[in-house]
């Protein structure tokens, strides 16, 4: 039987913990909705970018960005350094390690993800985690690293694995192929047999001829750089939304667990109280009967 003093302390401790978790859950929910309200829409920018890509004809142009190179892969993992997200980070890391092969390169965003990777003795390049303000400086550094790795090591593919925000209660691990990116140029895609493309903001006549002032190589590399920066920024937003949503759901589960434990402790506390009361009553009754038999009391 657990002493009543210990049960009282456990009940008081759980009550305090429940209050703390409720506060943390409220903060996480507030930050989530705040971030969601600040989320920038890239729809208009993407539409203009699609129109520009549509005007560049790469049918007779070869470039490592567009494919044709045989080599390893660069697997980029987006993880978080925030608390209560171990499960989400492990899902991202396990997803990436399942695809990792000899000759591949690992790039990890987030110190916690890097720590998980180091336990598997895999070589990797790490970057700090994403701030709540989503620093564009990190976007630029990661973009330059991705391009340098792809070109210097003559890789064939680059993929980004990150937690995609689906809903407040659902975060899905997504994989996006960054390189090769021939799919960005609709004219090349149409020549390969695909039909249609997402509408842009300009009415472009297929019969119109486009004169490029810069060499095609410079134009393609510049456009791809802009696209990578925009894409990374959007993925960072998706990851932060997933982080806050996952934290709220984790704290909600913790609250439910504490409440269940609190119910069990209360039942045990009252049962112990009743057992002790019954024992005291029996002891008093036995003592009284013994005194009556000895004639000590009438």
pLDDT tens across 120-170, in order?
Answer: 777 889 998 888 777 788 899 999 999 999 988 888 899 999 998 877 777
44-71 average pLDDT score: 78
Least confident of 36-45, 58-67, 215-224: 36-45
Residue 209 has pLDDT above 70, yes or no: no
71: exposed, middle or buried (C-beta count within 10 Å: 0-12, 13-18, 19+)? middle
More confident residue, 124 or 202: 124
What pTM does this model have? 0.73
pLDDT tens across 165-181, in order?
Answer: 877 777 789 999 998 88
pLDDT at 47: 74
pLDDT at 206: 55
197-209 average pLDDT score: 54
pLDDT at 158: 92
71-94 average pLDDT score: 85
Which residues in 15-87 belong to E strands, given as ranges? 73-78
More confident residue, 72 or 20: 72
pLDDT at 103: 84
Q: How far apart are CA 277 and CA 256, in angstroms?
A: 31
Domain boundaries of the chain, sorted by first residue: 4-31+250-294, 40-246
80: exposed, middle or buried (C-beta count within 10 Å: 0-12, 13-18, 19+)? buried
Sheet containing 125-127: give its strands across: 125-127, 105-109, 73-78, 157-165, 171-179
pLDDT tier for residue 186 given thresholds of 50, 70 and 90: confident
User: What's the CATH number of domain 40-246, 3.40.1380.10, 3.40.630.40, 3.30.1540.10, 3.40.50.970?
Assistant: 3.40.1380.10
pLDDT tier for residue 23 given thresholds of 50, 70 and 90: confident
pLDDT tier for residue 250 given thresholds of 50, 70 and 90: confident
pLDDT tier for residue 195 given thresholds of 50, 70 and 90: very low
More confident residue, 114 or 203: 114
The two beta strands, 73-78 and 105-109, are parallel
Q: Determine the 3-state secondary structure of 254 from DSSP.
A: helix
Query: What secondary structure letter does DSSP report for 67?
Result: S
81-94 average pLDDT score: 81
């Amino acid at each position: 039987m657990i002493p009543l003093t210990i049960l009282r302390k456990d009940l008081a401790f759980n009550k305090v913990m429940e209050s703390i978790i409720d506060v943390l859950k409220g903060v996480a929910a507030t930050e989530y909705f705040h971030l969601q309200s600040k989320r920038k829409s890239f729809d208009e920018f993407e539409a203009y970018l699609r129109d520009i890509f549509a005007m560049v004809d790469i049918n007779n142009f070869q470039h490592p960005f567009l494919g044709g190179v045989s080599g390893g892969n660069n697997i980029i993992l987006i993880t978080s350094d925030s608390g209560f997200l171990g499960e989400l980070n492990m899902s991202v890391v396990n997803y990436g390690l399942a695809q990792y092969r000899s000759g591949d390169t690992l790039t990890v965003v987030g110190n916690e993800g890097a720590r998980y990777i180091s336990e598997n003795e895999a070589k990797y390049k790490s970057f700090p985690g994403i701030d709540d303000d989503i620093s564009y400086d990190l976007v630029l550094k990661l973009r330059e690293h991705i391009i340098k790795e792809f070109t210097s090591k003559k890789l064939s593919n680059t993929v980004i694995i990150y937690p995609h925000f689906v809903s407040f209660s659902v975060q899905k691990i997504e994989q996006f192929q960054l390189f090769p990116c021939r799919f960005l140029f609709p004219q090349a895609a149409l020549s390969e047999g695909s039909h249609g493309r997402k509408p842009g903001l300009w009415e472009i006549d297929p019969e119109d001829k486009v004169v490029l002032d810069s060499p095609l190589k410079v134009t393609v590399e510049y456009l791809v750089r802009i696209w990578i920066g925009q894409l990374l920024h959007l993925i960072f937003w998706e990851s932060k939304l997933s982080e806050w949503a996952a934290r709220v759901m984790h704290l909600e589960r913790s609250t439910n667990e504490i409440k269940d434990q609190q119910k069990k402790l209360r039942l045990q506390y009252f049962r112990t109280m009743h057992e002790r009361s019954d024992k005291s009553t029996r002891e008093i009754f036995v003592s009284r009967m013994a005194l009556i038999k000895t004639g000590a009391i009438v």
